[in-house]
Amino acid sequence: MDAKSTLEITNSFPFPAVESPSTDTYHDSNTISQLAAAAPRSKANGVYQNEMIKKLREVNVDANNVGWYTSANLGNFVNMNMIENQYHYQKELNERTVALVHDVSRSSQGSLSLRAYRLSPAFMLAYKENKFTVESLQKSSFRYQDILQELPLQIHNSHLLTSFLHTLPTTPTTTATSMNPPKIPNSLSELPPTHNLPSPLHPNLSTLTLSIDPFLSQTSDLLLEAIESHHTELNNHQYYQRSLAREQTKITAWQQKRKAENASRVLTKQTPLPEDEWQRLFKLPTEPSRLEGMLNSRQVEQYARQVDGFAAGVTGKMFAVRSNLLPQKME
């Protein structure tokens, strides 16, 4: 629901599970993953989505489609499937629709990682025209940082859930038995005051461990893979540039030869030959799209930010104990 420039998300539902009755396990898993990634923009799920919104409207629940959500592992979500899904929603439904990204690896450690993204208007225009060549990007000054817009996100419980949490009984002071069950309050006024209860401090010894955070090593591996993918895209573009230079050299040599031939034909009072015939004889290579390289750059930036966050705690510990790690001088 869009209220006063604030997009409120009150409910969500998953798409049906994708099943592929194939006997090849390897290709079956790849097919299922590809179908699941393209689920938000498939026609069948579009019909299912409209039916779910209709049923939500019947039970007086907010029934406006404001986007979609997906899960990621260690921030690995910047890819073509994510871009195509979000472009589909912003183009077909509303330009204010968002994509919620839930990082399951961070959330599994007790820190909820939920972010909201939206494609920028400049990227929407460039993606519509499919202009991701070097010349078009230089003219528009479009950068990989301009692909996604991260929106501020606030998470809070509904009033109904807050009231339910307040009605839950507190920890009983005596052991509850079948003959002496704990008393459950009937209203909020019967709840005992909790602001005077002491809150015990539990020691957290995990901050004293000197082992490297496993998320730091995993994110570093993903960062290296993203850099290799970016290097591969760069090599493909350099190969295109070399192929283009070879063809242009051939065209230039052919044009000079044709000009010299026409000059001799003019001296002999013959009809000059057409000089634009090279367009039929030579074919310039097609410039590859720079979109994949820009997405890889954006993914590398995402991994670098995560490494920076993970390394802060480890670096602090190393500085704290560096006197014990360095060799001592003998007197």
Residue 327 is predicted with a pLDDT of 65
Residue appearing with tokens 């401090």:
201
Average pLDDT value for residue range 122-143: 85
Instruction: Specify the amino acid at residue 41.
Output: R
7, β-bridge pairs: 2
As a whole number, the mean pLDDT across the chain is 79
pLDDT at 139 over 70: yes
pLDDT tens per residue across span 249-290: 999 999 899 899 888 888 888 888 888 888 888 888 888 888
pLDDT at 29 over 60: no
pLDDT tens per residue across span 150-186: 889 888 887 888 888 888 776 555 555 556 666 666 6
C-alpha distances out from residue 82 to 14, 40, 87, 292, Å: 16, 10, 8, 13
C-alpha distances out from residue 255 to 259, 270, 281, Å: 6, 18, 12
Per-residue burial over 195-228, b if 16 or more Cβ lie within 10 Å, else e, is eeeeeeeeeeeeeeeeeeeebbeebbebbeebbe
pLDDT tens per residue across span 69-121: 888 888 888 888 889 889 988 888 778 889 999 988 878 877 788 899 999 98
Residue 326 is predicted with a pLDDT of 63
pLDDT more than 70, % of the chain: 76
Average pLDDT value for residue range 223-244: 90
Residue appearing with tokens 């993953």:
33
Cα–Cα distance measured from residue 197 to residue 204, given in angstroms and rounded to the nearest whole number: 21
Cα–Cα distance measured from residue 37 to residue 33, given in angstroms and rounded to the nearest whole number: 6
pTM metric for this prediction:
0.70
At 191, the pLDDT band (50, 70, 90 cuts) reads low
pLDDT tens per residue across span 299-329: 998 888 888 877 777 777 777 766 666 666 6
pLDDT more than 90, % of the chain: 5
